[in-house]
């Protein structure tokens, strides 16, 4: 299913949309651009809760992104709504709790709802993306590395979906 304006739509979901999902949004947007798909794929992100609506990404997430050469400063936190499923092709969830919530919310949708780390070739067993929120800067770097490892697999999945 390719939706709005023939663009493939990817949404990354975490709890508050200030750490994991904005980092993944930034990384994936660049990965699709680097793969020559930037004009065919739209990437956004949201949280399951509205605690941080309109706020920027967590400073520690921004620092981890900047240290790796990414810019996440334009991010503003949003909360996913049920009608988003109508124009998203792929919903990537940070962890199994988000996956269950998105499967319930989008149960009548054609959107593909998956864990982001399903695409990480080094992931085994627990496929939850590390939650750095209560951690140290090293935890944000670990989370970012997990996202970066998953990005090529996500790009290939979308490329296959696009035909």
Number of domains present in the structure of the chain: 1
Indicate which CATH number applies to the domain containing 27.
Answer: 3.40.50.2300
> What six digits make up the tokens of 160?
């296959």
Each residue's pLDDT tens digit, 119-143: 999 998 899 998 999 999 999 999 9
Helix (H), strand (E) at residue 104: helix 96-105
pLDDT tens for residues 89-102?
Answer: 999 999 999 999 99
Q: Are 146 and 66 in contact (CB under 8 A)?
A: no
- What angle is formed at CA 135 by the lines to CA 104 and CA 51, rounded to 5 degrees? 45
Catalytic residues: 14, 20, 131
Q: Which domain holds residue 60?
A: 4-162
Model confidence over 146-163: pLDDT tens digits?
A: 999 999 999 999 999 999
The pLDDT tens digits of the residues spanning 11-35 come to: 999 999 999 999 999 999 999 999 9
Q: How far apart are the first and last CA of the chain?
A: 11
Give rounded-to-5 percent helix, strand, coil for the chain. Answer: 45, 15, 40
């Amino acid at each position: 299913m390719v939706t709005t304006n023939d663009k493939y739509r990817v949404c990354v979901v975490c709890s508050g949309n200030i750490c994991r999902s904005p980092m993944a949004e930034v990384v994936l947007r660049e990965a699709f651009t680097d793969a020559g798909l930037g004009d065919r794929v739209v990437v956004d992100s949201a949280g399951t809760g509205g605690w941080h609506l309109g706020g920027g990404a967590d400073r520690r997430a921004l620092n981890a992104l900047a240290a790796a050469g990414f810019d996440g400063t334009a991010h503003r936190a949003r909360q996913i709504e049920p009608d988003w499923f109508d124009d998203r092709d792929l919903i990537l969830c940070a962890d199994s709790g988000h996956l269950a919530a998105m499967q319930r919310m989008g149960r009548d949708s054609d959107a593909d709802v998956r864990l982001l780390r399903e695409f990480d070739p080094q992931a085994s067993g627990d496929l939850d993306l590390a939650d750095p929120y209560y951690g140290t800067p090293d935890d944000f770097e670990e989370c970012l590395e997990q996202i970066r490892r998953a990005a090529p697999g996500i790009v290939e999945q979308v490329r296959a979906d696009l035909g």
